[in-house]
Structure formats: structure tokens, C-alpha cells
Structure 1
Amino acid sequence: MMNGKNAYRAHKMIFYFSGLLRSLPPRPFFQRRCQALLSSFDALPSAEQEAINARIDYYNKLDATHVLSDTATRNRDLSLSFKKSTYHLDFYQTAKYFPDDVAYHYRFGDKVYVPDAPTFVKSRPIHGENRNSVLLKLNSVRHFYTVKDHYRYDDKRNSLVWRGAAHQPHRRHFLDQCYNLPCCDIGATDDKEKTAAYRKPFMPIEKQLEYKFILSIEGNDVATNLKWIMASNSLCFMKRPIYETWLMEGTLIPGYHYVEVRDDFSDLEEKIDYYLAHPEEAQAIIRNANRYIADFFNSQREMLVAMKVFERYLSKTNKTI
């Protein structure tokens, strides 16, 4: 059996090779299929159509026509190679279905600001005017990576776990406040001097799943571990999120999808004690989280939603020539 790091490396390699393989046919092959794929929406039951439309409205909030500047990228100029990022590969899987002469703005990476022009991004602030940030499922190989949870909730350790780099002040504050709590097994895995007092060895996901409670804490933008926690048999603890991605973190309900803790983590121990004493409530939240995350692993449905989001972007933008 592969260890955690090797399993993720294998997962990433499969992502690259399968993605590049799916991109081998020339673009006209995909462009001829575009309308048929988009039209498949019409054959879905009305309840599914409503759910998809709600997601499209959430990801793409453009409500007026915008004129893009000549700095916009033309679709024909988007290319792939082994040197390109996982962002490029994800983006190309949607963009390849659309005509070569359409144009758009995109920004890859951890983005915590809203661009001046309508732009495809992985992440955006939840609150405030964020309509220019149009979400797509980018860097999915990292953010939608899950591991099979082989442990029953009742058989897990009665404590909370967290491992991660603590480059950001809010993560270091969490370590300052909670490192010595007896109900927690937390530690920094980076090599920075500021976190030396909190250093603990890397812990693979498979080992973290041995714990009843797992903390999710935002990094540069969203928390990478949130998706695999919600797909597991462990209970997610986190502050109310500030940023969101394709997962629509802004729609998650405290006490229903996760356990909300205060921004200063002062109630963390109290919340752990409460859910240890109320396992039926903990498992109800876990089931709700499992149902929520499951929708994001239907590959055909996810592609349809992404194409609909892309189509709406094009319908709401024009490019000056």
C-alpha cells in the first residue's frame, strides 16, 4: 500500500496523463459536440435543472453585458503542455468546446481579490461585490482529492487533528491558542522559524481519518482539506469561511454541514466536548456533509455545469477588436 504522499503523487500523475489524453483530439472535434452537450440539460428532470441553474447563478453572477478589453485572451491562444499548470489543464477541459475566436480573462492561483473585469478564477471572497469573479473548478487535482475512509465514526479517536503549513498569521494564532489543548493533536509541518515551537511530523490523510474531529482552516484562500473532510466519516470543525471556490463554501450551513468555531478558537475545546457527548448529532452533520460533497464527483454533471457557466460568461461579454 502506498503512503499518503506517494498516493497523492500517483493521483496527480494520473490527472495529468488522463487530462492530456482527453485533450489530444483537435478542437473542432470538441466544438462540434458543444451544442449537443449543452442541450443535454433539456432532457434532465426539472428538479435537476433547477439545482444546476442555482449553481450556475452562484458561480456566474454577471447580470449585464460587459465589453472586454484587448488584453483578453482569445480561445485559440490557450495551449497545453507538460509545463503548464493543473489550472491550465482544468480550464482547457471546458474552454476546448467553444469557438476559437471567443475571448475571456482568467487568473490562476489563490486569488483573494475581485478583478476589475469579468474573469474566470478558482477562488473569490464570499462577501461584498464579487460578480466579476466567475468560478470554475480549477486545480481540482489538489482541491477535490479524497481518500477512502475505512473507519467508523464510533471507532475513531476522541480528539481533533490538524496538520499543515502555518505561513499565515491566522494559522499561527490557531497554533498559539490550541497547541497545548489535551483534546487536540495539532502541529505545523513547515520549516519556518516562526512555527518551530509547534513543529510536528507530516501526517497523511489516512492517519488523520483515525480522528473523530478534523480542523479545516483557510490558508491563502480556501482550506484544501475541506473537501476530503466532508467526504469522510469525521466531523469538520472550522471558522465561518471568508473565501469560496467551486464547492460554494458560502452556502455551507454551520451546525448542519460543519461545526463552526469562533474566530479566536476560544470555544474549540467546548465544542469538542459537546460533540463527544452527542455522537448522534455529530453523525447527522457528517451525513449532511457527505450528501453535499457527493454532487461534486459526478463528472458528467460537473462538465455540464462548467460548460453552462462558460457559456453564460461568453453571452455576457464582448471583446473590442
Structure 2
Amino acid sequence: MKLDDIKLFYYLRNFTRNAMPSFYFKNYFEKIKAYEVKCDPSEIQNRLNYYFKVTQSFNLPKEAVAVKNFKKTKSTTYFFDLKEFLHYFKPNVSFVYHFGDETHINSYPTLFKARPIAGENANSILFKLNKRRHFQWVNDSNKFSDKKNQLVWRGKAWHKLRTDFAKTYWNHPLCDIGQVNKLENNEPWVKGFLTIEEQLNYKFIFCPEGNDVATNLKWAMSSNSLCIMPKPNFETWFMEGTLKAGVHYVEVENDCADLEEKIKYYINNTTEAEQIIKNAHTHVKMFQDKKKEDLLCLKVLEKYAELSGQNNALRF
């Protein structure tokens, strides 16, 4: 368990950082900028362009909030994730952000956790938000070939994809499926919680979207299990829109009608399954360098300030 998994430590660390003097942030800012010189500039630019699709200058709307006025309104984790990088900007520099799982597109550039993959989504600028919940990785010591020949999933089921899936597959012999939120009636597909460590004993992990992206997708793709899911509709900082079926994950129909067929195929084709898992690990590796992640977060905000006409926005 990481220290950040302990809620008390997480809050203590973040509140302490927010109280640090200016030289603390100046020192880290210089380290990040020195690190940038060592990075592949094309990789950094490609990721920045992916997150920030707006290319033309724009005027700040009335919804913009200045750094000096940025305060916690709802989710504390979202607040911490943005505040961490606002320390590097002058007090009057302003940004527009939206916290929460909503994926609507504003008429002006806005920092979001998630956005639709399809359609005109440029005004939703992806930022690494709610990362304590979403960006978890695992060290999986179990080989794919040694795991149970079953698909596992535990989660809350409020949306049709999840509720239909739980009702259909809760007692399938190739599945260990259950929703964890209670219902009025004692339905058999409502089951007990399974830890991530317990789920790593299964060859296949189901990664269904909820309000936006599948929360378990990041840690599942870092495991030695195979991710199975319908084609994603939403994307976050993890760049779900770049994931390819049969390359990074196994795709099933939206109603999961071909689920049994796909499970049986990869049980019998271990080499193909292991190659997909290897490709998933390669994708995950892009997000495991903290300095690179911090650099990109900083560059997203720098670009926002630049295109919104806020010159000399950085403090240092």
C-alpha cells in the first residue's frame, strides 16, 4: 500500500504542500524545467496536443477563476490536483475548470477530467484530476497462465451497461461478477467486495464505463490480467481514445453478447493474450514517470494562459 492510499496521510501531505513558502515551488519548478531538456520533445508535444486541442487564441469567459481566488468548492481531490500546479502561476492568472464526472462540452475552453472521444471535444481540455482514485498501478507477480480461467468484476451498477451485465453474467461459470451497491430486494447479483489483490487472481478483468471512464482500467492494464470491455466512449489523461481493440484490450459488444466467445478464445490462445498485456504495459508506462506527468500538467496550464492572452503568467 502506498502512503497516499492512507487518507490521513494524503490530506496531511497536500495541506502541508499548500502551506509551503515560495522557494519550495521555485526549486521544484526549476527541476521540472531542467528535466524537460532531457525529454523527447516530440513525445511531450504530441501528448500536449492531445490534451489541449484548442489552437486559436480565446477570451476568458466570466466563469474564469483567478489563482488568488481559487478555493475548494466540492471534491477535495480535484481541488488538490489543480492547486498543486496553480502555485507556479501569478495570483491574477485565471483558468476555467469543471470538477466532477460530467462530460458535457462548454462553449469556451475548460479544464475537465474527462471528455467524449467522438465529436467536437476541443473545448474540453484534459487535466490530470481525481488522480488518487483513477491513477493506481499494481505490481502483479501472478503469471497470466497461472490465473483462474474466469472474468472478474466488482463495482457499483447504476448505468444500463453495468446493471444489465451484472444481471446477465452474475452466475455464468466463466465469470465472478457482482455489483456492490445494495438494492431494495436481495438480488443474487449483489455480491461482496473484492480487493484489487483478490481480483488479480483472475485471467480477465471487466472494465465497464460508468459516469465516464472505467475507474479500474488503469490498474487493470498494469496487471498481468487481460482487460475486457466494450469500446470506450470517454477519455481522460490516460488517453483512452488511443487504445486499440486487440492491441491494448479485448473488445466486446456493448451488450457483451460475445463475451463468452472472447473469454474462451484467449484461454486457448495464451500467447496472443500475453502480447496484449505487454502492449497494455507499454501504454501504462507513459504515465508512470512523475516528473514527466508534472511537466505535462504544467504545460497544459501554460498553454491555457498563453492562448487566453495572459502573458508572463508564471511566477518563476
Q: TM-score normalised to the size of structure 1? A: 0.90
Per-residue displacement from partner, 1:105-136 (whole Å, max 9, x unpaired)? 11111022111211111111111111111111
Percent of aligned pairs sharing the same letter:
41
Residue pairs, 1:199-214, within 5 angstroms: 199-214=190-205
Q: Which residue of 2 aligns with 1:221?
A: 212
- TM-aligned CA distance change 1:195 to 1:301, over 3 Å: farther
Match of 2:38 among 24, 44, 54: 44
Structure 1 gaps of 5+ residues are none
Q: Which amino acid aligns with 1:316?
A: L
Q: Which residue of 2 aligns with 1:298?
A: 289
Q: Which residue of 2 aligns with 1:22?
A: 17
Structure 2 gaps of 5+ residues are 311-316
Question: Does the 8 A contact of 1:146 with 1:231 survive in 2?
Answer: yes
Question: Does the 8 A contact of 2:75 with 2:99 survive in 1?
Answer: no
- TM-aligned CA distance change 1:231 to 1:177, over 3 Å: same
- TM-aligned CA distance change 1:180 to 1:56, over 3 Å: same
Match of 1:66 among 40, 49, 58: 58
Match of 2:302 among 291, 298, 311: 311
Give the root-mean-square deviation of aligned CA atoms: 2.3
- TM-aligned CA distance change 1:314 to 1:36, over 3 Å: farther
Per-residue displacement from partner, 1:39-82 (whole Å, max 9, x unpaired)? 642x225xx2111111100001111111112331001112469x
Question: Does the 8 A contact of 2:109 with 2:124 survive in 1?
Answer: yes
Question: Does the 8 A contact of 2:113 with 2:129 survive in 1?
Answer: yes
Q: Which amino acid aligns with 2:21?
A: P
Match of 2:129 among 128, 138, 141: 138
- TM-aligned CA distance change 1:164 to 1:278, over 3 Å: same
Q: Which amino acid aligns with 2:215?
A: T
Per-residue displacement from partner, 1:9-52 (whole Å, max 9, x unpaired)? 844433322223332223575368647734642x225xx21111
Higher normalized helix content (fraction of residues):
1
Q: Give, in whole Å, the separation in 1 of the partners of 2:95 and 2:153.
A: 39
Per-residue displacement from partner, 1:215-262 (whole Å, max 9, x unpaired)? 000011111000000010111001110011100000001111100111
- TM-aligned CA distance change 1:131 to 1:39, over 3 Å: farther
Question: Does the 8 A contact of 1:161 with 1:186 survive in 2?
Answer: yes
Q: Does 1:158 align with 2:159?
A: no
Q: Which residue of 1 aligns with 2:82?
A: 91
The 3-state SS of whatever aligns with 1:297 is: coil
Q: TM-score normalised to the size of structure 2? A: 0.91
Q: Give, in whole Å, the separation in 2 of the partners of 1:65 and 1:246.
A: 23
